Every structure is written in structure tokens, then in C-alpha cells.
Amino acid sequence: MARLITYREAIREAIAEEMSGNDKVIFLGEDIGAYGGAFGVSKGLLERFGAGRVIETPISENSIVGVGVGAAMAGFCPIVEIMFMDFITLAMDQIVNHAAKIHYIYSGQLNVPLTVRVPAGAGKGYGASHSQSLDCWFLNVPGLKVVAPSNPYSAKGLLKSAIKDPNPVIFIENKMLYDFKQEVPEEPYYLEIGKAETLLAGTDVSLISYGRALHLSLAAAKIAKEAGISVELIDLATLKPLDTGTIINSVKKTGKAVIVEEGHKTSGVGAEIAALISEECLEYMNGKVVRVAAEECPIPSAQKLEAAILPSVEKITAAIKKACFSYE
């Protein structure tokens, strides 16, 4: 049976279900206890599971992730919350040089079943150091999986799979989605990491996105339909490993692609997908590959300026037309 819940509630349910089913699942982070987390995700978990499993930490991201890595090596399944994705920069050594590599360094004798949850993205006027989408930073690191769900249903199912995964997973939650509601089953379920979903079938252009940008892309696809353009919309859901088959098959069919992300364009997620398309689909192309991303500047605090540099429905609609009608 399904009921309408928020993205925030779906994530909380996923954590609670996995903690209930496995006493080795622990939860670490700043203000996740009595305060309930910076965005209210962990509200009630301390009362339910106790301070021995919902563990308040000092303000030291490298230490938080380091403890998580050590706990994972010792047989626990830690969930670590980094309050803002911007602060994950302070934990890059533990993530890149330890969590991602230990399984390989020790020839498979050790696993690091660590889930790092990170609220990301702009839209709230938080400014340059609290609004970034650093998703692409982790795509270049062998040993990591990167998940970025766009809705409550996928957030719950993918987070449960991430917690069970024997490998480290970076789980990206766009903070503008926390209040987004969707019907989600009451029964526990898991979704496959590395599997994209085709939300709209189309023949003219492949529109590829994820996270909050997926919702902007859906709105643009509806506008394009009114203009007679048939859009195939793909929700990536996982950034690493990419569902390359779904992307390639779609672009081979449509011959054109628009890729939308909230991060910056240079060396971004869209750049990787554009490279994939150029390698695998070039002979099928009859239009352009167009990327829509944040402008090349730090995220402003002023909300009008912030909105101006981020992807928008208007920018995505223009990109669809550009891909389909290259003379525009």
C-alpha cells in the first residue's frame, strides 16, 4: 500500500528500516540527534535507536568520515551525514584515499560498506560555500558509487540499497527536494544502483538529467511537446556506475541529446555523458549534443542572481530547440 510522503520522510524511513533490520547499521553526523539534522531528516531517530547508534559528532568532516571508514572495516554499516555537500571537501582524503581504495589495497580482504549522505545544490540563497553541486568530483574515483535520486520513491529504494552495498556510496540529496511529495509503498523495497529510468518515451531528442534538474527538465519536455517536439526523458538516478545502455539506446533512437545538471559545465556530469555519446552514437546523430548547467561562477547569495546562473525551464527549453534545430 502506498501513501504520500516527502523526500525527507522517505530518506528517514530508509534509514530507520535498515537500522531496524541490522544492528550493525549506525548513523553518524553533526546535529543528527536531538536537533534532528540540519534539514530535519533524522528527526526521531535518536529516540528510537539511542545514542549508541545515532552518534552526534564534533564539527570535523574528515574525522566523521574517518570514523565511518574504520567502523566499516570493523564490520559495521555506517551512514555518515555531511551537513552540506560543500563541507565534503574537508573529507576528501578519507573518501578518495581510504574508503574508495581499501578493498583494492587489501586484495578484497576488507570491504568498506559506507554510505555518505550529502545535501547538495542551490536555490535557498545560502551562498557560495553552502550551495554547490560537486557531484562530478566523485566520478573520477574508482571504488566509489554515486547516487542522486530525484524523488521520494527512488530516494528510499536507492538509499536502502546503498546501505546494504559492500562498497562506499556517495548519496546526493538535493536540498530543494526535501519537501517534494510522492506516493511511496509502505512495504520495504530496494532499487538497483546503476539503473536509469526512462520517464517519457520520445523520438526527437533525448533529455538526460537527475536530481532537482530532472523536475525542470520534465517541465521543459512538456513545453517542447506543445511545440511538436517529442522528448525522451531519462532520469539517471545513479551517476556512477552510469546506465550507459539506456543512454546509448535512447540517443541512437533520437539522434540528439540535451544533458542537464545543476553543477558547473566544465568537466561536469554532462561532459562525461557527452563524451560517451560521441564515442558510441556519433554515426546515429542528426542533431546536436547540448549541455545545460550552472554558469561558471560561484553561487551567489542574492536569490535573483542565484536563479540567473542556474539551469531553468527556459534554458532547457532553448537547449532542446538548439539540439533539434541547429540553425537557431
Q: What pTM was estimated for this model as a whole?
A: 0.96
Do residues 160 and 188 make contact, with C-beta atoms less than 8 angstroms apart?
yes
Do residues 163 and 115 make contact, with C-beta atoms less than 8 angstroms apart?
yes
Q: Is residue 195 helix, strand or coil?
A: coil
Q: Which of 41, 140, 150 lies closest to 95 in space, CA to CA? A: 140
Contacts of residue 314, defined as CB under 8 A and 6 or more positions apart, other chains included, come to: none
In single-letter form, the type of residue at position 325 comes to F
Q: Does the pLDDT of residue 328 top 50, yes or no?
A: no
Question: How far, in Å, CA of 88 to CA of 61, rounded?
Answer: 7
- pLDDT digit string (tens) for 1-48? 889 999 999 999 999 999 999 999 999 999 999 999 999 999 999 999
- pLDDT digit string (tens) for 143-163? 999 999 999 999 999 999 999
Per-residue CA distances from 315 to 9, 135, 182, 228 (Å)? 31, 21, 26, 18
Question: How far, in Å, CA of 168 to CA of 193, rounded?
Answer: 12
Q: Find the catalytic residue in 9, 30, 61, 81.
A: 61
For the residues 199-209, what does the mean pLDDT come to?
98
pLDDT in the model for residue 316? 98
For the residues 280-296, what does the mean pLDDT come to?
96
Q: Does the pLDDT of residue 327 top 60, yes or no?
A: no
pLDDT in the model for residue 68? 98
For the residues 256-278, what does the mean pLDDT come to?
98
215 is catalytic: no
Question: How far, in Å, CA of 70 to CA of 76, rounded?
Answer: 9
Question: How far, in Å, CA of 28 to CA of 322, rounded?
Answer: 46
pLDDT cut 70: percent of the chain above it: 99
pLDDT in the model for residue 35? 96
Per-residue CA distances from 1 to 8, 183, 258 (Å)? 19, 9, 36
pLDDT in the model for residue 64? 97
Q: How confident is the model at residue 281 (pLDDT cuts 50, 70, 90)?
A: very high
pLDDT in the model for residue 1? 84
Do residues 206 and 232 make contact, with C-beta atoms less than 8 angstroms apart?
yes
- pLDDT digit string (tens) for 235-259? 999 999 999 999 999 999 999 999 9
**Beta strands 145-147; 181-185: pairing state:** unpaired
**Beta strands 289-294; 145-147: pairing state:** unpaired
Q: Does the pLDDT of residue 105 top 70, yes or no?
A: yes
98 is catalytic: no
Residue 281, all three cell numbers:
552514437
- With cell 545543476, the residue in question is 262
Contacts of residue 137, defined as CB under 8 A and 6 or more positions apart, other chains included, come to: 92
Q: How confident is the model at residue 80 (pLDDT cuts 50, 70, 90)?
A: very high
Q: Does the pLDDT of residue 198 top 70, yes or no?
A: yes
| Domains detected in the chain | 2-185 (3.40.50.970), 197-324 (3.40.50.920)
What sign for the dihedral angle of Cα 238, 192, 74, 100? negative
- Helices 211-226, 313-324: axis angle to 10 degrees equals 60
What average pLDDT is seen over the chain? 97
Q: Find the catalytic residue in 98, 130, 215, 264.
A: 130
pLDDT in the model for residue 194? 98
H or E element at residue 92: helix 92-92
pLDDT in the model for residue 12? 98
